[in-house]
Amino acid sequence: MSVSLDPVNIAGKLSLIDELWTQKKIAGLNDYEIKLAKLKGEFVWHTHPETDELFVVVSGRLTIRLREGDREGDVVLGPGELYVVPRGVEHCPVAEEETAVMLVEPVGTLNTGDAGGPMTRAAEPL
């Protein structure tokens, strides 16, 4: 049997992550990656022109700043809450305290979307 009978322990996987803003792949679902990351501070403004992006807060607090055209607003998430950033909407995640998140995105989606720059990283297996 090639199927794993072991569940993924999210808290256990998070305990293995030391670096902030680095996405770690913990599972796959069809053409999607299930990823964990620890965040603190402000990320870069970016968009994902080809896909929505799902954020699930595991611990801490996450503010997702959004802007679309001349409209701006913030979505604030606590543990157990999720938000889907629609494709093409410019956003900037901000965490004033260390925050753990789960992300669901198509395989190969870069963390900085179309912005590029020194914080750009593909998901790494954990």
Q: Is the pLDDT of residue 44 over 90?
A: yes
pLDDT at 111: 82
CB atoms within 10 A of CB 93: 26
- Asked whether residue 102 is assigned to any structural domain, the reply reads yes
* Tokens coding 94: 């901000």
| pLDDT tens-place string over residues 55-74 | 999 999 999 999 988 899 99
pTM above 0.75, yes or no: yes
CATH code for position 43: 2.60.120.10
Long-range CB contact pairs, 14-21, < 8 A, 24+: 14/38, 14/58, 14/59, 14/100, 16/126, 17/126, 20/98, 21/111, 21/119, 21/121
pLDDT at 93: 97
Three-state secondary-structure class, residue 36: strand
Domain that holds residue 43: 21-113
pLDDT at 96: 97
pLDDT at 110: 80
First to last CA, the chain: 23
* Percentage of the chain modeled with pLDDT above 90: 77
